[in-house]
Amino acid sequence: MIEVRSLAKFYGSFAAVTDLSFTVRPGEVLGLVGPNGAGKTTTLRCIAGIIPPSAGTVSIAGHDLGADPIGAKRALAFFPDEPRLYEYLTVRQHLAFVARLYGVAGHEAIAQPLLEEFEIADKAGSLPGELSRGMKQKLVIACGLLHSPQVMFFDEPLTGLDPLGIRRMKDSIVRRAREGATIVLSSHLLHLLEEVCTHVLILKKGSKIADGTLAEVVSTFSRGELGVSLEEIFIRATGGSEN
Amino acid sequence: MLGALLYLRLTSLRNRVIAAVLRLRQPKYVAGAAAGAAYFYFFFFRRVAAPGGAAGSLPRGMGPMALSPMFGAVLMLAFMVGHWLFAWLSREENPGLRFTEADICFLFPAPMTRRMLIQVNLLGSQFSILISALFLTLISGRWGFLAGNMVTHAIGWWVILSTVNLQYTAAPLTVAFLSTRGLRAPLRRTAGVAALALFLAATAFAVARHARPAGPADLAGPSQTLAYAVGLVDVGPMHWVLVVLKVVFGPFLAPDWRSFFLALAPALLVLAAHYLWVVNMGVSFEDGSIARAQRTSELLSARREGRRIFGRAPARARSEVFRLPDGAPAEIAFLWKNLSSTWSGFRLRTLLACAGAILVGCHWLSLEEFGHPILRALGWGASILGGYTLLIGPQYARQDLRSDLSHVDLLKSYPLPGWRIVLGELLAPVAILGSILWLETMIVALTFSELHLSWAASGVGATVLACFALVAPFVCAIQLLMPNAGVLLFPAWIQPPQGRTAGIDLLGQRLIFTFGQLLATLLALVPAALAAGILIFATQWIVGMAAAVAIATAAVLAILAGELWIGVWWLGERFEKFER
C-alpha cells in the first residue's frame, strides 16, 4: 500500500510538485500521466525515496519513508526509464550485487527464473556493453524484482522494448498486481494505461488534475459523450498543452 | 552493505582487468598497449627507477627541512581553498556528491540511509585513494631528501589524500547545508568573498607586523629561501589554519618509526574529525547528486564522441558567432554550426578586442624603460606558443568530423557531395587555430625589434611574418586532414567502443596516432619546403630577400592548396563510403 499526503517538491522557488495526495492499494496499478514537465518523474523519485520531498508524508507498505527509510525501501523497487548499469559487472553479477544490497539469501534460485522470464538467461555472463538497450532494461527490472518488492514504481517501463518485450512487460506488471503488488507507473503511452492500469492520476505543472479509476476519470472529462477516446480525455484534462 | 560495496568494487576491478587482457588478442590493442607501456617506462618509471631517480631533478640543496610539514600544509591549503572557493562561489544551491548514474539507479532506492550513502561514497573513493597513494609512494620513495620508508610514506600519502577527499566531500555538503538555512547563492558568494578578503587582510597585516628582512642565510639556497618564504606566512590567523594541516603531513614526513607513530595519532584525529563532520551534516544531497551524475555522464559521452575535451555543454542558448546569410554555401553553414558549439567567448569582437589590447599594450610597453624586457619575453612566449598551436592545436580544436561522428548518418543524408561536407567540417578548427596564430604572429611582429634577430633586418622579418600569417591556416588545415582521416579510417581509435575513455592501450593508440599525424604533416610539407627553398635561393639575388620570400610564399600557398584539395576530395570519397 502507498499513501501519499500533501507531497510537495520545490527547487528554489520552482514548484515541481505541489500538494499531491493519493493512495494505491495492493493489487492496484496507478498510471501517472501528464504532459512533459508535469512532475511525474519527480513524484516517482520522491515516493521511491530517491530524493527527499520538500513537504508531505509518504508511507510504503506501512513504513513512513521519512521516519523509517530502510523499512520502506526494503519493500519497494524503482525502475528508471533509462537503464543505468555498472560497466564492469556481468548480468549475473548485477543480480548478485543487488542480492547483497537487499540481503536476499540464496538469490541464485530466485535470479535464474527471473533471467528466464525476461529472456536474458543466455546473456548471464555478458557485460552491459554487450547488451542491447532492451536487454539492459530487462536486467534492471530483474534486479528490481529480486527482493520480491510489495511496491513497485515504473518510470516509462516500455521505453526501448521490442513488441514482444512490451507484451511481456505488460503481462508481468498485471501478473504482479494480481499477486498483490502495489504498482505506480508513469507513461506517455495511453494504451498502456488502458491495458494495465486500474487507476489513473493526471498531473499538470506539478498539481493533480484528476484521479480515480479509469472509468471515473473518463466520465469526468467525457462531458456525457459516449465513446470518447482516452487520448481525447487526456487532451481535455490537460488543456492540450504543457502549460 | 560493506559486503555489497566490496563485491561491486572488487568484481568490477577483476572484470576490468580480464577485459583489458582479452582485448590484447587484437593487434591494434597490442600495439596501443606496447606504445602506452613504453611511454610510461621512458617518461616515468625509468626516471623513478634510475639511481638517484627523481631526486636528481630537484634543485641542489633542497633538504628535508625545506620540505617541512609547513610547506606541504601551504600547498594543501592552496588546493583546499581553491576547491572551497569553487564550491562556494558556484551558483548551485546543492552541488551534490559524486555518484555514477548506476549508483543512483541501484543505491539510492536501496534500503540505505542518507548517512550510509555518504559512507558508500567515501568508501568508493578509497579505491582510487589507495591506488594514488601507492603511485605517489613509488615517486616519493626516490626522493633522496625524504626520510622515512616506503610504508610510512604510503600511510602518510593515504592520510593526506583521505583528508583532502573528506574536504572535497565536505565542501558541497556545507554549501547545501547553508542553503537550507537561508544562506543562498548570492548572499553566500558575497559573504564568502568578504570573509576571504578579511582573512587575507588579517594575514597580510600579521605578515607585515612579524616579517623580518631576508638575511644572507635565508637566500643561501633554494631550500633556505623556500623555508624563509613559507615561514613568512605562518603568522596570525594563517598560523592556526596551518597548524591543523601540518599535523596531516606529519606521518608522511616522519624520519623514523617513533616519530611516525607520534605523528600518526594526531593526524588520524584530524581525519576522524573530518569524517564525523561529513557524515553528521545531515543535509540532503540527492537532488544535486542526480544532476551532477547526469552532467558527468553527458560530459563523458561528449568526450567519448570527441565533442568536448574540457568543460560542460552550454546551459543556455548563446548569441550567434556571425549571422548566417540566406543562401550561404553549405560549407559556411557548417562553419557557423561548429563555431556556435565552441567556447562562447570565441567571437569576432573578442578577437578584435584582443588585437586592440595587444596593439595598445605593446606600444605602451615600448615607450617605457621597464617594458623592453617584458616585450622580449612576450615575443619569445608568443613564438613558442605559436609553435605549440601549430603542432598540438589540431588535437584540441575538434569542431570537425571528430565532433560530428555521432551525427554521421544525418550528415550522409544531406544532398551534398562528400568533399563539401569534409571541407565545411574543416573550416571551424581552421578559423579557430588561424585566429589564435594571427594574434600570436601579431605579438611577435610588434616585439620584433626587441628580439634582435639578425636575419629579420631590413623588412625581411616583417615579410616573413606576413607570409607566415598567410601560410599558417593552410598548414593547420593540412594537419587537420589527418585526425579527420583517422575518424573515417580508424573510427574505433577516435571513438573507442563501449565508451572507454582511458586505459594504457588507448593512451598508446593516441600516441601512435599523434606520431603518425606529425609524420604525415611533415611529409606533406616537404614539397612546399623544397619549392620555397629553391625559389628563395634562385630569386633572392635578383629581387632581394623580402621579395624572394613573398614569391616563395605564393608557391607554397599553391602547393598547400593543391594538397589540401586532394586531401579534401579523397576524404570526401571516403566519407561517402563510410559505414559506422
Pick the residue from chain A with its C-alpha nearest to B15.
A88
Contact A129 B498 (CB under 8 A): yes
C-alpha cell at B384: 613558442
Residues of A in contact with B104 (CB under 8 A): 50, 84
Contact B439, B354 (CB under 8 A): yes
Task: Report residues of chain B scoring pLDDT below 70.
Answer: 44-74, 142-145, 221-223, 303-318, 451-459, 492-502, 580
ipTM score: 0.88
Spatial separation of the C-alpha atoms in residues B113 and B103, rounded to whole Å: 14
Please indicate whether, in this complex, the C-beta atoms of B105 and A70 are within 8 angstroms of each other: no
Q: Does A78 contact B109 at a Cβ distance shorter than 8 Å?
A: yes
Closest CA to B552 of B492, B474, B441, B463: B463
B106-129 burial string, b = 16+ CB within 10 Å, else e?
Answer: bbbbbbbebebbbbbbbebbbeeb
pLDDT of residue B320: 75
Length of chain A measured in residues: 243
Mutation test of the interface with chain B: which of A70, A87, A132, choosing the one with the most B Cβ atoms within 10 A?
A87
Nearest-CA neighbor of A214 among A239, A243, A192? A192
Does A52 lie at the interface with B, CB-CB under 8 angstroms? yes
Q: Does B413 touch chain A (CB under 8 A)?
A: no
Residue A240: per-residue pLDDT: 65
| Record: contact B12-A89, CB cut-off 8 A | yes
A-B CB pairs within 8 A amount to: 93
The low-confidence residues of chain A, meaning pLDDT below 50, are none
Q: What pLDDT digit, counting tens, does each position of B128-180 carry? A: 899 888 888 877 776 666 777 889 989 999 999 999 899 889 988 998 888 88
Whether B65 contacts chain A with CB within 8 A: no
Q: How far is B287 from chain A (nearest CA, A)?
A: 6
Give the orientation angle of helix B114-140 with respect to helix B2-23, to 10 degrees: 50
Question: CA angle B34-B40-B44, nearest 5°?
Answer: 160
**Measured distance CA(B254)–CA(B244) in Å, rounded:** 16
Among left, alpha and beta (phi > 0; psi -120 to 50; other), residue B516 is alpha
Residues of A in contact with B19 (CB under 8 A): 88, 127
User: Among B162, B187, B157, B169, which residue's Cα sits nearest to residue B83?
Assistant: B169
CA distance B394 to B398: 7
Residues of A in contact with B115 (CB under 8 A): none
The grid cell for A169 is 512487460
Do A90 and B15 count as a contact with CB atoms less than 8 A apart?
A: yes
What strands lie across the sheet with A151-155, from one edge to the other?
Answer: A76-79, A151-155, A182-186, A29-33, A199-204, A207-213
Q: What is the pLDDT of residue B455?
A: 57
Q: Can you give the pLDDT at residue A98?
A: 93
Contact predicate B426/B338, CB 8 Å: no
Q: What is the pLDDT of residue B296?
A: 83
Helices B69-89 and B185-210 cross at an angle (nearest 10°) of: 150
A80–chain B Cβ distance below 8 A for any pair: yes
Residue-level pLDDT at B499: 54
- CA B86 and chain centroid, separation: 17
Provide the 10 A C-beta neighbour count for residue B271: 19
CB-based contact A179:A104 (threshold 8 Å): no
CA distance A1 to chain B (A): 17
Q: Which of B111, B113, B286 sits opposite A74 (nearest CB)?
A: B111
Q: Does A31 touch chain B (CB under 8 A)?
A: no
Cβ-based neighbours of B120, under 8 Å, separated by 6 or more: B1, B5, B103, B107, B112
Distance between CA atoms of B37 and B43, rounded to whole angstroms? Answer: 10
Q: Nearest CA to CA, how far is B1 from chain A (Å)?
A: 6
Measured CA angle at B152 (ends B149, B246), to 5 deg: 120
Distance (Å, rounded) from C-alpha A6 to C-alpha A21? 5
For B402, phi and psi rounded to 5 degrees?
Answer: -60, -40
Here the cell at position B10 is: 572488487
A213, β-bridge pairs = A199
* DSSP per-residue letters across A85-125: --TT--HHHHHHHHHHHHT-TTHHHHHHHHHHHTT-GGGTT
Torsion angles phi and psi, residue A57, rounded to 5: -125, 150
Spell out which residues of chain A touch residue B11, defining contact as CB-CB under 8 Å: 88-89, 93, 97
